Amino acid sequence: MTKSNERKLTIARAMAEATAQEMRIDPKVFVMGEDIGPLGGVYGNTRGLIEEFGAERIRDTPISETAFIGAAVGAAQDGMRPVVELMFVDFFGVCFDAIYNLMAKNTYFSGGKFKVPMVLMTSTGGGYSDGGQHSQCLYGTFAHLPGMKVVAPSNAYDAKGLMTAAMRDDSPVVYMYHKGLQGMGWLGTEAGATVHVPEESYTLEIGKAKVVREGKDVSIVSVGMGVHNALKAAKTLEAQGVSAEVVDLVSLVPLDRETIRASVAKTGRLIVVDEDYMSYGLSGEIVASVTEHDISVLKSAPKRVAFPDVPIPFARVMEQYCLPNPDKIVAAWDEMKAA
């Protein structure tokens, strides 16, 4: 919990601070991407870096994702520690070969002789009517393919620790930050993501989930923006006398199945909240992680609150109809209870 006299940062500033601190002690770390130089990143997560480190280490790129992400793979294998930005995760389509056929596989192909210590930062999420090529999460897409660690912070404290951990990791890490949590007012922003962040450098263990609210009647499991929706739903449920536990996955790969299973074993009920598409994705994986382990812990069938299997519509009423929200989570509990 943040005390009033403690320093609060947005996720954007926490990411920039972590990067700057690491760059001061590790000359191998450098950043590449579109508009990450003087502009400081479209989402603010490289702000101030070019002023301190200059254009040699903070490199604005042409609109050439295949080239600079592929180049990051080569530089990483040659001893550098690149941090690259894919401005919107939706843009993965133009450069996925470099990501999943090279970045993700070269460690394995080389029998571990080549390391690919790079961070791929990318923005996710909708809710501000940016249409179907600028609003996706694609958590499941990235987490599905072996060889990449995948993290997605819900708040600035985790964001800083994950960023430092990602830069120090010898494996490629996909760092998925939600636009609605960045603290950029022009996108609207979730206040709960801006929290106390220590000045000093620290790491958060990749692959470790957090119980961010304890409860005994139902486990609500989510990531990123979904954690905030889950916490709001938990408050509503509390007023109805229902004690909801909220699990923040923090990392998608490795997935901390132990924490999920322990929570559901305690509560007996599971609701998964995911802003990514419903089918073949994160929400199904969480349910399977529980049921294939021990289905007897469940007092009722698990529920999923996820984006329906349609491209993300532009019109606000349509998009909001599709997005997960606290009311839908409460409704899922009501259905579960009635079943």
Question: Which of the residues are catalytic?
Answer: 65, 134
Between 67 and 297, name the residue whose CB sits nearer to other proteins.
67
Is residue 54 involved in binding other proteins (CB under 8 A)?
Answer: no
Q: Which stretch binds other proteins (CB under 8 A): 141-149, 156-164, 227-235, 304-312?
A: 304-312
Is residue 131 involved in binding other proteins (CB under 8 A)?
Answer: yes
Residues in a beta bridge with 306? 274
Among 108, 110, 133, 288, the residue binding other proteins under the rule CB under 8 A is 133
Is residue 316 involved in binding other proteins (CB under 8 A)?
Answer: yes
**Rounded Cα gap, residues 307 and 8, in angstroms:** 31
C-beta of 183: minimal distance to other proteins in Å? 13
Q: Which stretch binds other proteins (CB under 8 A): 59-67, 107-115, 166-174, 286-294?
A: 59-67
C-beta of 25: minimal distance to other proteins in Å? 29
Is residue 331 involved in binding other proteins (CB under 8 A)?
Answer: no
Is residue 67 involved in binding other proteins (CB under 8 A)?
Answer: yes
Between 13 and 210, name the residue whose CB sits nearer to other proteins.
13
Between 74 and 207, name the residue whose CB sits nearer to other proteins.
74
Is residue 309 involved in binding other proteins (CB under 8 A)?
Answer: yes
Assign 3-class secondary structure to the chain: CCCCCCCEECHHHHHHHHHHHHHHHCCCEEEEECCCCCCCCCCCCCCCHHHHHHHHHEEECCCCHHHHHHHHHHHHHCCCEEEEEEEEHHHHHHCHHHHHHHHCCHHHHCCCCCCCCCEEEEEECCCCCCCCCCCCCCHHHHHHCCCCEEECCCCHHHHHHHHHHHHHCCCCEEEEEEHHHCCCHHHCCCHHHCEECCCCCCCCCCCCCEEEECCCCEEEEECCHHHHHHHHHHHHHHHCCCCEEEEECCEEECCCHHHHHHHHHHHCCEEEEEEEECCCCHHHHHHHHHHHHHHHHCCCCCEEEEECCCCCCCCHHHHHHHCCCHHHHHHHHHHHHHC
Q: Which stretch binds other proteins (CB under 8 A): 8-16, 143-151, 270-278, 316-324?
A: 316-324
Residues 283, 251 contacting (CB under 8 angstroms): no
Is residue 279 involved in binding other proteins (CB under 8 A)?
Answer: no
Task: Please report, as residue ranges, which positions from 205 to 244 form the binding site for other proteins (by CB under 8 A).
Answer: none
Task: Please report, as residue ranges, which positions from 94 to 123 form the binding site for other proteins (by CB under 8 A).
Answer: 94
Task: Please report, as residue ranges, which positions from 25 to 44 form the binding site for other proteins (by CB under 8 A).
Answer: 34-35, 37-39, 42
Task: Please report, as residue ranges, which positions from 169 to 188 form the binding site for other proteins (by CB under 8 A).
Answer: 185-188
**Rounded Cα gap, residues 263 and 246, in angstroms:** 9
Q: Which stretch binds other proteins (CB under 8 A): 86-94, 212-220, 246-254, 267-275?
A: 86-94
Between 94 and 297, name the residue whose CB sits nearer to other proteins.
94
| Interface residues toward other proteins, by CB under 8 A | 34-35, 37-39, 42, 60-67, 90-91, 93-94, 127-134, 185-188, 308-311, 313-322
